């Protein structure tokens, strides 16, 4: 949405809880990033958020841990 992608993991739906992509899962997401960029028409400078704060049902959650696709792909 608006040239941004947010990827996170979590299960606690309590508003205010933090859902973040853990470092051990970076390589899994990196494997699929070429397909994600094709499907969603993204580019290296697209803002990528590796987490979010759980919000109320029906709201857009606050994004956290901002980077770019290019910088994320360099992370090992």
Q: What is the DSSP string of 34-70?
A: HHHHHHTT--TTSEEEEEEE---TTSPPEEEEEEEHH
Whether the pLDDT of residue 13 is over 80: the answer is yes
The pTM of the full predicted model, rounded to 2 decimals, is 0.88
Q: How far is CA 3 from CA 18, 31, 40, 75, in A?
A: 22, 20, 9, 21
Domain boundaries, the chain: 4-67
- Each residue of 54-75: pLDDT tens digit? 999 999 999 999 999 999 999 8
Query: Given this model, what pLDDT does residue 75 score?
Result: 84
pLDDT band at 51 (very low <50, low <70, confident <90, very high): very high
């Amino acid at each position: 949405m608006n040239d941004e992608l947010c990827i996170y993991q979590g299960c606690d739906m309590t508003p205010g809880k933090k859902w973040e992509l853990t470092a051990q899962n970076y390589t899994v997401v990196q494997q699929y990033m070429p397909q994600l960029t094709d499907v969603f028409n993204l580019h290296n400078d697209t803002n990528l958020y590796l987490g979010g704060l759980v919000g109320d049902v029906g709201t857009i959650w606050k994004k956290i841990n901002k980077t770019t696709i290019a910088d994320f792909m360099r992370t090992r």
